[in-house]
Amino acid sequence: MPKTPFYITTAIDYPNAKPHIGHAYEKIVADMIARWHTLQGEDVFFLTGTDEHGQKIEKAAKEAGKTPKHFVDDMSAHFQKLCTALTLSNNAFIRTTDKKHVKTAIEILKKVNSKDNVYFGTYEGLYCTGCESFKTEKELKNGLCPDHLKAPEHVKEESYFFKLSKFHQQIKQHIEQHPEFIRPESKRNEILQRLQEPLQDLSISRANFTWGIPVPKEITTTASTKKHIIYVWFDALLNYISGIAYPTKKFQKYWNNAHHLIGKDIAWFHTVIWPAILLAAEVPLPKTVYCHGFLTVDGQKMSKTLGNVVDPMAVIEKYGTDPLRYTLLRDVPAGQDGDFSEKTLIARNNSELADALGNLLQRTTVLIQKNFHGNIPVCGTLTEKEKSLEKSIPDLQELNTLMEKYQWHHVVEKVWNYINACNKYCNDTEPWKQTNDPERLATILYTLVEHLRMISILTWPVTPASAEKIACQIGQPLGKLKDAKFAKKTKGTLAQAQILFKKIEQKTVSPSLLAIAKTTGQQPTVNSFAMLNLKVARIEKVENHPNADKLYVLTLDAGERKQIVAGVKQFYKPEELLSKQIVFISNLKPAQLRGVESQGMMLAAEKEGVVRVLEAPNAKPGEQVFVEGITPAAQQITIEDFQKVTITTKDKKAAYNGKPLQTKTGTIYVDIADGAKIK
């Protein structure tokens, strides 16, 4: 019976900056799924691409001094290169600026409109350009978008609306009746919970910038005073059908079994808005939306401000594709957040790839070359040892079920347990000691080669280049999943031996892996505490500034000696300052203040004319001052940058965003009333 075709998509990435390791992660997972289905003999279509319209792109292009089209052409190329570097098996790479996509977007909007699902009105609300979406007050944290840590813009403008509310009950029912529609379960519950509340209609056009697909004239009303473009999410979601040539035969073939893999942050768009658009356009819904977790880097959220955005191309250049693929697929539990660390990659490469898999191939092929002139020997009588090893071949049905449940990391684990069992068999049977018993030696080496053949199949979705190398070295074609069972009659001649994985020296994360945001024209978000590097210092000496009445020159012990100029003369006598343990900005660009160099700035709080310095009486000079969850920056900042950070006081403590400033020995104290501003 012919198998049902299988269609898998990733989210399409915003090319406002170069790809980061999170983008790579999603693509690697999708590729593993696509390859798994290919191994099952299915006709697979795997789509990925770039989401190129919208305000965020227009802004980034402007900052880079390019036209939006020029800009996305350049940036999209980085994402396409990444697909090649990751050895993705994607069948197409869609760009929302592709003519065919634009045509589909217009066609669908017209269809949605023709069924009375669009109306003209006025929108008033908060817009986060980072998310390219409107936000409710409830979604904000301290007035900021929790994902982009920026205050959304207040907008009031005329807009075309999509009657999202009309589909509320239908979508809710679909989710309730199709447990597989939203995965994992926790996400499904979260969305169902949100659907308890009324659904607002969706603004689907923008008129305050121009980079997008124009709203077709069939829809425009005379009430509109402006030219509108289609809202970027309405446009972007349609890539999933334009990418398989909606409404042609190709579309008919794949859409029946469509699966979207996306990050957890964009679940609402894919599980509520997207189905509503499809229902309105009378297109069936996809089978599954699987929401994966987010990658952090060494335990930290990735952000340009923190400077810890990992460039996947740099990782690949340094360590190769398969070690990266293996680490992310093995290390990050499906559906959960996970961490990328160079240290883990190195450790896993060395033990599970080089030592386990590489060594197994190496030992087997060297012994066959030496004892059988490179020909796979004929299998003799199988003993209990071989039979027991056969039992460690993972159960294919079980692996398939795990993959269907999107538990890919368990599949990886089971395959590598099997590889370990093969190594154990090799150690136990000691083929290098069997040269006096050619039949036994032949049986052991045959067994090893046969298992390597199965390993090449089972590892192909995870580490495809190495899997293909294994198959090639043992002189076998790469089989399908059904071939992953022990056969007694495999024949062939080995090819030239090649090293599969090199061992890597243990190192810590190198700055070379960090993405370079500079080329993208994107500036770090400046309104953030993460820009500051604050340290405790003890005041060693207080002198009058030679050229300014209101200034002191302070000599500090901050673990190292520092000199700063401070404007607190009218609030403190020298003896009151002497020996105080204060807080100062250690990464401020040095400046000449009235002819004296200042190598930082002491922090003080001010309220109604009263000024008090921040103090850390119990800390050691040089100790780091931090706010939980924020890593201090290393790069220099200017005084203007500092002025954009709001630190206030509460209960005689300094706080940022409600969280106290602290050292590892205690909080930062300031003798002033609540609500004072730190300057």
Residue among 344, 332, 341 at smallest CA distance from 299: 341
Angle at 358 between CA 352 and CA 362, to 5 degrees: 150
Q: Which of 18, 101, 128, 228 is catalytic?
A: 128
Tell me if 262 contacts ligand MSP by CB under 6 A. Answer: yes
Q: How far apart are CA 318 and CA 316, in angstroms?
A: 5
Closest approach of ligand MSP to the CB of residue 30, in Å:
10
Question: Is 379 labeled as catalytic in the residue annotation?
Answer: no
Is residue 47 a contact point for ligand MSP (CB under 6 A)?
A: no
Min dist. Cβ of residue 49 to ligand MSP (A): 9
- Tell me, residue by residue from 281 to 310, as one string, x for binding to ligand MSP by CB under 6 A and - for no binding: -------------xx------x--------
Under the binding rule (CB under 6 A), the answer on residue 312 touching ligand MSP is no
Residue 184 near residue 261 (C-beta atoms within 8 A)? no
Cα-atom radius of gyration of the chain, to the nearest Å?
Answer: 30
Residue 98 touches ligand MSP, criterion: CB under 6 A: no
Q: Which stretch binds ligand MSP (CB under 6 A): 6-14, 241-249, 349-357, 477-485?
A: 6-14
115 is catalytic: no
Which entry of 163, 304, 409, 535 is annotated as an active-site residue?
Answer: 304
Least distance from C-beta 472 to ligand MSP, angstroms?
A: 33
d(CA 12, CA 262): 9
Q: Burial level of 91, CB count in 10 A (0-12/13-18/19+)?
A: middle
- Please identify which residue in the block is written with the tokens 């813009």: 153
Residue 485 DSSP code: S
Helix then strand count (H, E) for the chain reads 22, 31
Nearer to ligand MSP, 15 or 632 (CB): 15
Q: Residue 15 CB, nearest distance to ligand MSP (Å)?
A: 8
Catalytic (active site) residue 148: yes
Give CA 32 to chain center in angstroms: 16
Contact between 8 and ligand MSP per CB under 6 A: no
User: Is 70 known to be catalytic?
Assistant: no
Span from 23-31, 489-497, 628-636, 649-657 in contact with ligand MSP (CB under 6 A): 23-31
Q: How far is the CB of 522 from ligand MSP (least distance, A)?
A: 13
CB neighbours of 543 closer than 8 A, spacing ≥ 6? 552, 553, 554, 555, 574
Using alpha carbons, list the distances in angstroms from residue 91 to 49, 97, 236, 460, 612. 11, 18, 19, 17, 64
- The neighbouring-strand residues paired with 297 are 300, 340
Question: Among 83-91, 160-168, 232-240, 483-491, which window interacts with ligand MSP (CB under 6 A)?
Answer: 232-240
263 in contact with ligand MSP (CB under 6 A): yes
34 close to 89: Cβ distance less than 8 angstroms: yes
CB of 80 to ligand MSP, least distance (A): 14
Between 86 and 583, whose beta carbon lies closer to ligand MSP?
Answer: 86
Q: Which is nearer to ligand MSP, 302 or 494 (CB)?
A: 302
Burial of 634 (0-12, 13-18, 19+ CB in 10 A): exposed
Choose, by CB under 6 A, the member of 6, 7, 8, 12 that binds ligand MSP. 12
Catalytic-residue membership of 178: no
25 touches ligand MSP by CB under 6 A: yes
Q: Which of 589, 593, 599, 603 is nearest to 536 (CA)?
A: 603
Report the half-sphere exposure of 640 (CA within 13 A, side-chain side): 0
Pick between residue 23 and residue 183 the one whose CB is nearest to ligand MSP.
Answer: 23
Residue nearest to ligand MSP (CB): 263
Q: Are 365 and 494 a contacting pair, CB within 8 Å? A: yes
| Total residues interacting with ligand MSP, rule: CB under 6 A | 19
| Distance of alpha carbon 593 from alpha carbon 13, whole angstroms | 47
Among the listed ranges 10-18, 163-171, 390-398, 462-470, the one in contact with ligand MSP (CB under 6 A) is: 10-18
Residue 11 near ligand MSP by CB under 6 A: yes
297 or 403, CB closer to ligand MSP?
A: 297
Q: Is 49 helix (H, G, I), strand (E, B) or coil?
A: strand
Q: At closest approach, how far in Å is the CB of 94 from ligand MSP?
A: 10
Interaction between residue 13 and ligand MSP (CB under 6 A)? yes
Decide if 426 is catalytic.
Answer: no
CA distance 464 to 105: 35
- Judged by CB under 6 A, does residue 266 bind ligand MSP? yes
Q: Is 28 in the site for ligand MSP (CB under 6 A)?
A: no
Binds ligand MSP (CB under 6 A): choice among 8, 171, 236, 329:
236
Helices (H), 550-636: 574-577
Please tell me the distance from the alpha carbon of residue 34 to that of residue 57, in angstroms, as a whole number.
30
Stretch that binds ligand MSP, among 11-19, 190-198, 321-329, 380-388 (CB under 6 A): 11-19
**What is d(CA 261, CA 48) in angstroms, rounded to the nearest whole number?**
10
Catalytic-residue membership of 78: no
Out of 14, 71, 162, 584, the residue judged to bind ligand MSP by CB under 6 A: 14
Q: Does 482 participate in catalysis according to the annotation?
A: no
Query: Counting contacts by CB under 6 A, is residue 22 touching ligand MSP?
Result: yes
Using the rule CB under 6 A, is 336 a contact of ligand MSP? no
Contact 568, 548 (CB under 8 A): no
Kindly state the tokens that stand for 254: 């794949």
Nearer to ligand MSP, 12 or 118 (CB): 12
Q: Is 51 among the residues that bind ligand MSP (CB under 6 A)?
A: yes
CB atoms within 10 A of CB 77: 12
| Per CB under 6 A, 501 contacts ligand MSP | no
Active site residues: 20, 23, 128, 131, 145, 148, 301, 304
Binding site for ligand MSP (CB under 6 A): 11-14, 22-23, 25-26, 51, 236-237, 239, 262-263, 265-266, 294-295, 302
